[in-house]
Amino acid sequence: MSNLEIDVLCGKIIGACIEVHKTLGPGLFERIYHQCLCRELTLRGIAYHDEFHISLNYKGLELDSVLRADLLVEDTVIVELKAVNEWNHIFEAQLISYLRLANKPAGLLINFNVPILKDGIKRLFNGQ
């Protein structure tokens, strides 16, 4: 997928998130936003995998631990959802690790617990 196609896809995902936030507002549990975003993506015809599993292999050793990203959209963009009062930079480090381990080009961190959703969006790329 080209950078332009990734930009367009991220725009569609953000649009779906804005619709969920506009409808529900801030202050709810992350799981509620997650379920509503899945519904919104479905309504918009955007393919996704819910709770996408990322396997871990360390120097040939397949680890029992499995990481779970909230969503993988169109097999390209990993989306991690939050509903937190305070932003922690570990969220960004986690998403960057997910991108690297899953070999995906881009990710979105979305914090729904903000008055204006654009203030809760962070876009990251594999290799940062």
**CATH code of the domain occupying 3-125:** 3.40.1350
Give dist(CA 98, CA 53) in Å, integer: 10
Domain limits of the chain?
A: 3-125
Give dist(CA 66, CA 80) in Å, integer: 16
Ordered per-residue pLDDT tens for the chain, 128 residues? 899 999 999 999 999 999 999 999 999 999 999 999 999 999 999 999 999 999 888 899 988 877 999 999 999 999 999 999 999 999 999 999 999 999 999 999 999 999 999 999 999 999 75
Say if pTM beats, i.e. exceeds, 0.95.
no
DSSP string, 66-122: EEEEEEEETTTEEEEEE--SS--THHHHHHHHHHHHHT-SEEEEEE-SSSSGGGGEE
The closest alpha carbon to 25, from 128, 127, 88, 116, belongs to 116
